[in-house]
Amino acid sequence: MNILLITQSLSNGGAERSMSKLSFLLSKFFVVYILIIDKHKRIDYEYSGQILFLDDFLNGKSLNPLRKVLLIKSIKKKYAIDASLSFLEGPNFNNILSRYKDQVLISVRGHKSSFYKKSNWKWWFEKVAIRMLYNFADYVVAASKGIAEDLYLNLGVNQKKIKVIPNFYDYHDIISSSTANVGDYEPIFRENLVMITTGRLSIPKGHHHLINIYKDLKKNKSNLKLVILGDGELYEYILSFSYKHNLKVYSWRNNDVLDSSYDIYLTGFVSNPYSYIAKSSLFVFTSLWEGFPNALAEAIICGTFVVSADCLSGPRELLFDNLSYEDRVNYPLFSNCGVLLPAFQLDDQYNHHKEYMIWMNCISRLLNAKESNSLTCDNTSFIENYGKEMISELWLKLFK
Find which of 166-170, 339-343, 351-355 is predicted with most confidence, using mean pLDDT.
Answer: 339-343
Rounded mean pLDDT of 220-245? Answer: 95
Q: Confidence class of residue 79 from pLDDT cuts 50, 70 and 90?
A: very high
Same domain, 200 and 160: no
Tell me which residue range forms the domain holding 341.
171-383
pLDDT digits (tens, 9 = 90+) for 125-183: 888 999 999 999 999 999 999 999 999 999 999 999 999 999 988 899 999 999 999 99
Rounded mean pLDDT of 44-67? Answer: 91
Same domain, 157 and 182: no
Same domain, 215 and 89: no
Same domain, 162 and 186: no
pLDDT of 63 > 90? The answer is: no
Instruction: Report the half-sphere exposure of 132 (CA within 13 A, side-chain side).
Output: 9
Contact indicator for 5, 85 with CB cutoff of 8 Å: yes
**Overall number of domains in the chain:** 2
Cα torsion through 180, 183, 189, 194, rounded to 10: -90
Contact indicator for 273, 229 with CB cutoff of 8 Å: yes
Same domain, 224 and 111: no
Rounded mean pLDDT of 18-41? Answer: 94
Q: Confidence class of residue 113 from pLDDT cuts 50, 70 and 90?
A: confident
pLDDT at residue 59 in the model: 84
Same domain, 105 and 149: yes
pLDDT of 349 > 60? The answer is: no
Same domain, 131 and 186: no
Query: 303: which residues sit within 8 A by CB, 6+ positions away?
Result: 178, 278, 377, 379
What pairs with residue 51 in β-bridges? 34
Cα 180 → chain centroid = 23
The CATH number assigned to the domain holding 105 equals 3.40.50.2000
Same domain, 153 and 235: no
pLDDT of 57 > 70? The answer is: yes
pLDDT at residue 118 in the model: 59
Whole-angstrom Cα distance, residue 315 to residue 335? 11
DSSP-derived pairing of the beta strands 264-268 and 224-229: parallel
pLDDT of 311 > 80? The answer is: yes
Q: Could you tell me which of 144, 130, 120, 399 has the C-alpha nearest to residue 291? A: 144
pLDDT at residue 358 in the model: 96
Same domain, 14 and 160: yes
Same domain, 333 and 391: no
User: Any idea which of 14-18, 257-261, 296-300, 315-319 has the lowest mean pLDDT?
Assistant: 14-18
Same domain, 223 and 339: yes
Q: Could you tell me which of 194, 164, 371, 154 has the C-alpha nearest to residue 299? A: 194
Whole-angstrom Cα distance, residue 35 to residue 84? 10
> In degrees, to the nearest 5, what angle opens at C-alpha 399 toward C-alphas 100 and 154?
80
User: Phi/psi at 251 (nearest 5 deg)?
Assistant: -130, 130
Same domain, 227 and 348: yes
